[in-house]
Amino acid sequence: MQNNKVEICGVNTSKLKVLTEKEKMELLRKMKDGDKNARDELISGNLRLVLSVIQRFTNRGENLDDLFQVGCIGLMKAIDHFDVEQGVKFSTYGVPMIIGEIRRYLRDNNSIRVSRSLRDTAYKAMKAKEAFTNEHDREPSMDELAKILDIDRGDVVMALESIVDPVSLYEPVFSDGGDTIYVMDQVGDNNDDNNWLDEIVLKQAIHDLSDREKNILSMRFFQGKTQMEVAGEIGISQAQVSRLEKAALQKIKKDL
């Protein structure tokens, strides 16, 4: 932990209890049957899960105590909504819940606010981009978007960047006994607690793609690159990128 800090919010992190998956399931069943003590045991036995998650946010200069408390709120929500009958590890469900809670906190408490006009420009650009892509079967360049919107190219770029926080598709967010959860596991997360099984299915669908298809989707949807930029980077034509991208998305839709 940052600065070798052992105590967070009065909790000695070096002495935290760690529950086995079997113990978690047993306590979850007891909690559903009305055992109030079981919920408290689940919270205290999963605090290391919260600690593991907040480590990825420590480089933002946020107070660790604050992040820990917010992460615990996400943990409690995960405990209260988890369905033991689905046959999935608790961490698979708990991690995105904790991350979602922390992201909401960071968004709501961010000192750098995106102006309403800049956000409106971004949404107009996204709408124009979608319309252009549907009509021309390719994405527009920044210059083309600027011309469509009749605004400066730099303003378009700034607006789009203001609402995007790109991350690596393969960035690890948590590891539990060798079972690592990556950003890819959370693809499609729309903060709907009922969609966690869909995310697991989506992970498998992406896993079945070829390396080239994964690479194209990563550059397109996680790095924000245009089809022309992707084509130049991997050495094929824009038309080929378009075909490969469509084929990959069709495979995923078919699997889903």
Q: Which CATH number covers residue 15?
A: 1.20.120.1810
Number of folded domains that form the chain: 2
* Confidence category of residue 30, pLDDT binned at 50, 70, 90: very high
Is residue 64 pLDDT above 60, yes or no?
Answer: yes
Is residue 207 pLDDT above 80, yes or no?
Answer: no
- Quote the pTM value: 0.44
* 3-state DSSP of the chain: CHHHCCEECCEEHHHCCCCCHHHHHHHHHHHHCCCHHHHHHHHHCCHHHHHHHHHHHHHHCCCHHHHHHHHHHHHHHHHHHCCHHHCCCHHHHHHHHHHHHHHHHHHHCCCCCCCHHHHHHHHHHHHHHHHHHHHHCCCCCHHHHHHHHCCCHHHHHHHHHHCCCCCCCCCEEEEECCEEEEHHHHCCCCCCHHHHHHHHHHHHHHHCCCHHHHHHHHHHHCCCCCHHHHHHHHCCCHHHHHHHHHHHHHHHHHHC
Residue 247 lies in a domain: no
Among the residue ranges 78-92, 102-116, 127-141, 147-161, the one predicted with the least confidence is 102-116
Is residue 162 pLDDT above 80, yes or no?
Answer: no
Mean pLDDT of 115-140: 82
Is residue 123 pLDDT above 70, yes or no?
Answer: yes
Is residue 195 pLDDT above 70, yes or no?
Answer: no
* Confidence category of residue 147, pLDDT binned at 50, 70, 90: very high
Q: Indicate whether 47 and 132 sit together in one domain.
A: no
Range of the domain at 121: 115-162
Q: Indicate whether 14 and 100 sit together in one domain.
A: yes
Q: Which residue has the higher pLDDT, 208 or 189?
A: 208
Q: Which residue has the higher pLDDT, 196 or 225?
A: 225
